[in-house]
Amino acid sequence: MNYFVFVLLLLFSFSLFSQSEQSGLNGVILDKTFSYYELNNTQHKKIISFKDKKTVAKINPINYLAAGLLFFYQIILSEQIQADCTYEISCSNYTKWCINKDGFIVGSLKGLHQLSTCFPANVDDCPNYKISTNLKIKNQIDSD
Amino acid sequence: MIQIKRFYKETLCLLFFVNLGSYAQFNYPFLKHLSNQNLSQEHKTYLQSPMNISADSVYYFKAKYYLQYFNDSLFLDNYSKSKVLFNKDTNAVNLASIAFLTNNKKDVWFSAYSAKDTISRISCEIFAVYQMSKNANISGINLLPEKLQMDLLDYKKYYARKPILAAALSTFVPGLGEIYAGKKRSFPMVLLANLAYAAQAYEAYYKLGVKNPFSVFSVGFFGAFYFANIYGSYYDLKQVKKEKRKQFLIDAAGYYNINCSSKLYE
């Protein structure tokens, strides 16, 4: 048990200290030099909020369990395994978005399905307009 | 003498009242220049400047302005107020139909305007494209050019497929519904993943028993992916139908953009 707690604290500390490199003058110079080449694919890593949801969703503990697991995965695990998704909205963000929109069951099924079809060869199955400039599949849902 | 005076009086009165009812006109060559040079601010200012011009003309030219610098709501608003005049401009109608093929308000445009209002062949074809995108089974494929007929046949292939059948196929063989939905490359990965999780769940259940937490977790893990595969096949086929429809409309818009005159003022 002690060993498990120690490993958990170690993993947590990686996320705390990993962003301190670019904080000085060097960081400002590097940002200005390379900002032109940055891709605008910063993904949101906030926990799901149930403020605007119905009472049933607010008191359902499974929703909070899912939100906590996804938050833990995005903050700690995904940075360790350097996860790179084939889709523009990553599988974890897509699952969060679907759980927010469609509820826990349908949202999880959609997220798990995207996870099981998340590999580079899948890009060839999509029409041209669904492939972005950095060769990722656009997975926003169209209105029509 | 009195009769001559009366004649002049009457003529003067007639000219006075005729003058009241007559309107000025927009400077068409100037509008053409503003449109061709893409001077949108100057174009807008000219259209909004107060002039004694009939309302029909004002809305007609405004509709053309909002067609060129595409703003669907304002275009539709001005079109509805100058419908008779606008429908006589075949080129503008064609360009509007092409623009609305890939727009969210296509239903509004194609219900406001009917191909019966014009005898242009291209207008009829574009209207047929819109109707076939809503129902791929209607007849009239020969109305379309050859390139679009191929796109329509591709769309028609997926239009007839049922999402429930995709879900049913995935129930028996995980991933088979993906092939039915047209995503052939997803089949091996989905099948392998489900087989691996099933093998893991079976081994855990066989060796550790039903009540062991790890076997419960393994069976739950496999179950989640299995049901996700079934729901995913159902959902994927619905998405693929939308994608094929959108691709058909994009290809049609691209084809007619190349083969139609793009000038609003000729």
Report whether A96 contacts A115 (CB < 8 A). no
**Which is more confidently placed, A119 or A32?**
A119
Nearest chain B residue to A125 by CA: give it.
B183
> Distance between CA atoms of A114 and A16, rounded to whole angstroms?
30
Whether A28 and chain B come into contact, CB under 8 Å, resolves to no
Convert B39-50 to b/e letters by CB count within 10 Å (16 or more is b): eeeebeebbeee
Q: What percent of chain A has pLDDT over 70?
A: 81
Per-residue pLDDT of chain B (266 residues; tens, 9 = 90+): 666 666 666 665 555 554 444 556 778 888 889 888 989 999 999 888 877 778 888 899 999 999 999 999 999 999 989 888 888 888 888 899 999 999 888 888 888 876 556 667 888 889 889 999 998 888 878 888 888 898 899 899 999 999 999 999 999 999 999 999 999 888 998 999 999 999 999 999 888 888 888 899 999 999 999 999 999 999 999 999 998 999 999 999 999 988 887 788 87
Which residues of chain B lie closer than 8 angstroms to A102, CB-CB? none
Nearest to B258 by CA among B122, B120, B155, B83: B122
Put simply, the answer to whether B243 touches A122 (Cβ < 8 Å) is no
**A117 and chain B: CB distance < 8 Å anywhere?**
yes
Q: Does A140 touch chain B (CB under 8 A)?
A: no
> Hey, are the CB atoms on A117 and B242 less than 8 Å from each other?
no
Q: Which residues does chain A have within 8 Å of residue B227's beta carbon, measured at their own beta carbons? A: 109
Residues A117, B243: C-beta atoms closer than 8 Å: no
Cβ(A119)–Cβ(B178) under 8 Å? no
Q: Of B111, B57, B49, which Cα lies nearest the Cα of B89?
A: B57
- Give the model's pLDDT for residue B180: 93
pLDDT grade for A144, boundaries at 50, 70 and 90: very low
Please report, for residues A26, A71, A130, A140, B246, the alpha-carbon distance to residue A135 in angstroms, rounded to integers and kept in the order given. 32, 27, 9, 15, 20
Q: What integer pLDDT is reported at residue B120 of this predicted model?
A: 78
* pLDDT tens-digit readout, A35-78: 666 555 555 567 777 777 777 777 788 888 888 888 888 888 88
What is the reported pLDDT for B16?
Answer: 52
What pLDDT was estimated at residue A81?
78
Confidence of residue A3 (pLDDT cuts 50, 70, 90): confident
Predicted pLDDT at B114? 63
pLDDT given for residue B11 in this prediction: 61
Give how far A83 is from chain B: nearest CA, Å: 18
* Residue A98 pLDDT exceeds 70: yes
Spatial distance between the Cα atoms of B112 and A30, rounded to a whole number of angstroms: 56
Q: Is B186 on the interface with A (CB under 8 A)?
A: yes
Contact B189 A117 (CB under 8 A): yes
